[in-house]
């Protein structure tokens, strides 16, 4: 086979499907190494075969096609009987071997194409199975999350509704506590005891003063002055106040040192 004599199309198909014997394969391979045109035709044939492999349907060849193939094979090979010692053997035909038919070249490829198509179908089913499994795993994950949230909500409800649970109010650590005061008063005796805590320190020449505010709407009655210690604590014990005065409320103001007979506004602490 010379470079000027190109390989026939059906032989290129057999070469691409590796259906030639070793000698024919070697001869065609040597020609392809020298002939750019045949190499281009081989590339086209290979692409066509790949397309067929991807689009072929998986079914058996029709009975008529099989019969035509068998008849073609019968025509391709001649059997010449001759007798030699009462035996009959096959002899080659006297003329040149018949050229392969295009149908005979393509038909062996049908089985390969069907197998390839089956592989692609199986691969598609496998991908679909993986997709369904992934979706199922996602649904299971969502179910587990919802179950955990429901359990947590039930635990919160149980805790809030349990009367035996300890309830503690917390305050900011290091924050200054608010000033507080408590008055204990017996009007029929004119006896009063006042205790204060967390009182803020005062500037020089200033003092706190306690007042009894009468229930009858009279003027506030001074009930003693006090200066808190370094901790903010202070007391007023049994100041001199009138007996029998009913108190509506008690108040504390800031006055000049020595106190005052009338309160200086504002009243910074009050209680009733």
- In tens, the pLDDT along 193-240 reads 999 999 999 999 999 999 999 999 999 999 999 999 999 999 999 999
pTM for this predicted structure: 0.40
- In terms of Cα–Cα distance, which of 115, 97, 113 is closest to 13? 113
- In tens, the pLDDT along 168-206 reads 656 556 667 889 999 999 999 999 999 999 999 999 999
- In terms of Cα–Cα distance, which of 183, 178, 211, 212 is closest to 197? 178
For residue 71, the surrounding DSSP H or E stretch is helix 63-76
Domains of the chain, start order = 9-121 (no CATH), 180-271 (2.60.40)
Summary mean pLDDT of the chain: 78
Question: What is the phi-psi region of residue 10: left when phi exceeds 0, alpha when psi lies from -120 to 50, beta otherwise?
Answer: alpha
Q: How many CA atoms lie within 13 A of 38 on its CB side?
A: 23
Measuring CA to CA, how many Å separate 131 from each of 41, 82, 123, 128, 180? 41, 67, 12, 5, 70
Sheet with 234-237: list strands edge to edge: 180-186, 191-197, 234-237
CA angle 79–80–81, rounded 5-degree value: 110
| pLDDT in the model for residue 118 | 59
User: 217 near 233, Cβ under 8 Å?
Assistant: no
At 82, is the pLDDT very low, low, confident or very high (cuts 50, 70, 90)?
very low
């Amino acid at each position: 086979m010379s470079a000027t004599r190109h390989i026939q199309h059906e032989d290129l198909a057999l070469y691409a499907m590796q259906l030639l014997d070793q000698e024919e394969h070697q001869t065609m391979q040597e020609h392809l190494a020298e002939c750019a045109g045949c190499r281009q035709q081989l590339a086209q044939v290979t692409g066509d075969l790949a397309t067929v492999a991807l689009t072929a349907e998986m079914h058996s060849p029709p009975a008529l096609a099989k019969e035509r193939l068998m008849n073609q094979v019968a025509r391709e090979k001649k059997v010449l009987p001759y007798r030699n010692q009462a035996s009959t053997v096959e002899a080659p035909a006297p003329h040149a071997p018949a050229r392969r038919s295009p149908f005979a070249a393509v038909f062996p490829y049908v089985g390969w194409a069907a197998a390839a198509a089956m592989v692609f179908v199986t691969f598609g089913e496998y991908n679909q199975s993986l997709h369904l499994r992934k979706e199922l795993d996602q649904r299971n994950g969502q179910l587990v999350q919802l179950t955990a949230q429901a359990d947590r909500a039930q635990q919160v409800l149980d805790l809030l509704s349990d009367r035996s649970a300890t309830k503690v109010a917390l305050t900011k650590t290091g924050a200054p506590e608010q000033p507080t005061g408590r008055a204990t008063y017996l009007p029929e005796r004119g006896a009063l005891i006042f205790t204060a805590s967390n009182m803020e320190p005062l500037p020089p020449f200033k003092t706190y003063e306690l007042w009894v505010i009468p229930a009858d709407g009279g003027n506030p009655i001074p009930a003693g002055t006090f200066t808190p210690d370094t901790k903010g604590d202070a007391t007023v014990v049994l100041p001199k106040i009138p007996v029998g005065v009913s108190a509506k409320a008690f108040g504390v103001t800031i006055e000049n040192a020595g106190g005052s007979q009338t309160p200086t506004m504002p009243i910074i602490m009050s209680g009733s």
